[in-house]
Amino acid sequence: MSSYDPAHVPDAKDMKFGIVVSEWNEEVTSALLQGAMDTLKKHGAAEDNIHVTTVPGSFELTFGSRIIAEKHDLDAVICLGCVVQGETRHFDFICQGISHGITELNLDYDIPFIFGVLTTENQQQALDRCGGKHGNKGDEAALTAIKMVGLKK
């Protein structure tokens, strides 16, 4: 993970988070989820204030995030997934749909929706970013969520 000064991270003690995680590529997404959970707790979030739900694939993150935001009184929603480039344009359509959908949620709701979706060229790049040599992007998504909630408050 990129280095950061913990003093510049708001206390998450009274913050409520939703995490929506894709079941597809579970080796990667479960590691992203663990990183996000660890970071939220490290900065004071209570486990009771973290609502986790799963969706089948990354494309479903947008709908799942909307549902969890409407079902719970949350300060932010973290969207975690992984899309690995294949031989067809499917990758492009999925990534574009996810990024557009999460952007729309940010505009339509009064809470931040955090883009924690890996879009990699291969499986090794994904592994490098879910706890490997490039850190855990789940950690970074959680930090972003905390900081965005802090900004709003």
Catalytic residues: 90
Q: Where are the beta strands (DSSP E) in 47-149?
A: 50-55, 76-84, 113-120, 130-132, 135-136
Copy the structure tokens of residue 130: 């879910």
In sequence order, what are the residues at sequence separation of 6 or more whose Cβ sits closer than 8 angstroms to the Cβ of residue 100? Answer: none
- Please give the Cα distance from 1 to 132 (Å, whole number): 10
